[in-house]
Amino acid sequence: MKKIDGAFAMVVCALCWSLAGVFMKYVHVNSFAVAGFRSMFAFVTIMAYARHFPRVVLFKDASNAKDDNSETEITSKPAKKIDGSKKIDGRGTLYLWLGALSYAATMVMFCAANKLTYSANAVLLQYTFPIWIIAFGPLILHEKNTKIDYLAIAGVCIGMFLFFAENIFATPDTKFADTKVAGNIIAFISGITFAVSTIFQRKQSLYNPEANTSFDSFMLAQLITAIAGLPFIFTTPDGIPDAQSLVFLVLLGCLQMGAANITYSIGIKKVNALSASLITMIEPLMNPIWVLIFVHEIPGVMCICGGLLIIASVIFREVFIKKLA
């Protein structure tokens, strides 16, 4: 695991995430039930890789309690002693749960947004999350932004606008006339929670690099989402999957989400939060490529130009940063 490049791990994560659209075409189940099934299989996959159940509380040796931004001992808040030699790691447990809850909220809200507004709107608004990382990352992670970061973000924002231009300027139908505003708001909030998840996944890796608590965060997030989504199997007429749907639900859970979370957990230890957010922009870009391969729909010129601009911005930033390192 240590030999895997962080950026490469993030690319693999994004490629796995991008399979959702293709796989879901073969699933005939309510979208909330899909989220529940997918998270259930993802939880099992991540747990099998991590080889342990998710930790809900973290502990640390009293003599080795370190602040996440310095080498000084934490002495400001006494922790509860366990077995005479262990303490509850309050700070680490907080980061664990903030990462888990924000990622679970992102998954649930994205499903809700897709039910209330156009899919393009949901994706576009969720993928504003690098902007929030630019805004709050330096305050929480103490990872400074550079001029190259701002140029890359500008390129990505313009690219995303071009990428979805055909949807933005298309003549709207009345399908989501009554729910579009609510769906857009939920999708926008999901972008914030996605940023919070990224920030606190990174925070965990900085605070305790050897603990691998990202796996625990993802397992807890998948467990929460499964509990929230699985009841829709019984409350909607299209909740119970047929054989084909079940096969692709397993693929969604094990590959599209489970493998993605595993590679993300590996990558986030080696790249900063902004790099993670920009590299995973590959996810929405790959959707039309999978559609082209499997459905033979050719994307428009604006979509291609936007995608190329996003990729160029991300590659330019990564190459420039590595030259400065």
Read off the pLDDT of residues 270-285 as tens digits, 9 standing for 90 and up.
Answer: 999 999 999 998 888 8
**pLDDT tier at 250 (50, 70, 90 boundaries)?**
very high
For residue 72, is it within any domain?
Answer: yes
Angle between helices 180-207 and 119-126 (to 10 degrees): 30
Q: How far, in Å, CA of 163 to CA of 133, rounded? A: 21
What is the model's pLDDT at position 62?
45
For residue 71, is it within any domain?
Answer: yes
| Most confident region among 25-29, 175-179, 202-206, 209-213 by mean pLDDT | 202-206
What pTM did the predictor assign? 0.85
For residue 12, is it within any domain?
Answer: yes
For residue 28, is it within any domain?
Answer: yes
Cβ-contact 40, 301 below 8 angstroms: no
What is the model's pLDDT at position 61?
58
pLDDT digits (tens, 9 = 90+) for 82-141: 455 678 899 999 999 999 999 999 999 999 998 888 887 888 889 889 989 998 999 999
Contacts of 232 (CB under 8 A, 6+ apart): 30, 32, 33, 36, 239
Residue 264 phi, psi (nearest 5)? -65, -45
Number of domains in the chain: 1
Query: Is the model's pLDDT at 81 over the cut of 70?
Result: no
Domain housing 300? 6-324
**Percent of the chain with pLDDT strictly greater than 90:** 47
Q: How far, in Å, CA of 314 to CA of 136, rounded? A: 20
The residue-averaged pLDDT of 15-27 equals 89
What is the model's pLDDT at position 325?
58
Query: Is the model's pLDDT at 54 over the cut of 90?
Result: yes
For residue 1, is it within any domain?
Answer: no
Query: Is the model's pLDDT at 49 over the cut of 50?
Result: yes
